[in-house]
Structure 1
Amino acid sequence: MALSAGDTIPDVTLMTMTADGPTPVQSSSVLGSGTVVLFGVPGAFTPACSDNHLPGYVLRADDLKAKGVDTVACIAVNDAFVMNAWGEARETGDTVLMLADGNADFAKAAGLELDGSGFGLGTRSQRYAAIIKDGVVTEIGVEDVPTNVTVSGVESVLEKL
Structure 2
Amino acid sequence: MTIKIGDKIPAVQLKTMASDGMKTVSTDELFKGKKVVLFALPGAFTPTCSAKHLPGFVQHAEKIKAKGIDTIACLSVNDAFVMDAWGKSQSTGDKVLMLADGNADFSKAVGLTMDGSSYGMGLRASRYAMLVEDGTVKALNVEAPGAFEVSSAEAMMKLL
- Which TM-score band (shorter chain)? over 0.9
2:11 matches 1:11? yes
In structure 1, what residue type is equivalent to 2:80? A
Number of residue pairs aligned between Structure 1 and Structure 2: 160
Q: CA RMSD in A?
A: 0.8
Take 1:50 and 1:31, find their aligned partners in 2: how far apart are those partners?
Answer: 25
Query: Counterpart in 2 of 1:51?
Result: 51
2:88 matches 1:84? no
Residue deviations 1:21-58 (CA, integer Å, cap 9, x gap): 11111112113331100000000000000000000000
Take 1:27 and 1:65, find their aligned partners in 2: how far apart are those partners?
Answer: 20
Query: Counterpart in 1 of 2:102?
Result: 102
TM-score of the superposed pair, with normalisation by structure 1:
0.97
Are residues 108 and 156 of structure 1, via their aligned partners in 2, closer, same or farther at CA, if it must alter by over 3 Å? same
Which stretches in structure 2 are left out of the alignment for 5+ residues?
none
Residues 35 and 68, structure 1, Cα contact 8 Å, conserved in 2: yes
Residues 48 and 148, structure 1, Cα contact 8 Å, conserved in 2: no
Query: Counterpart in 2 of 1:143?
Result: 143
Which stretches in structure 1 are left out of the alignment for 5+ residues?
none
TM-score of the superposed pair, with normalisation by structure 2:
0.97
Query: Counterpart in 2 of 1:64?
Result: 64
Once the 2 structures are TM-superposed, how far is the Cα of residue 157 of structure 1 from its aligned partner?
0.4
- 1:22-37 pair list within 5 angstroms: 22-37=22-37
> Percent identity, aligned pairs only?
52
Once the 2 structures are TM-superposed, how far is the Cα of residue 75 of structure 1 from its aligned partner?
0.3
Take 2:114 and 2:125, find their aligned partners in 1: how far apart are those partners?
Answer: 5
2:154 matches 1:155? yes
Residues 16 and 99, structure 1, Cα contact 8 Å, conserved in 2: yes
Residues 36 and 70, structure 1, Cα contact 8 Å, conserved in 2: yes
After the TM superposition, which parts of structure 1 deviate over 2 Å for at least 4 consecutive aligned residues? none
Query: Counterpart in 1 of 2:119?
Result: 119
In structure 1, what residue type is equivalent to 2:38? L
Take 1:46 and 1:20, find their aligned partners in 2: how far apart are those partners?
Answer: 27
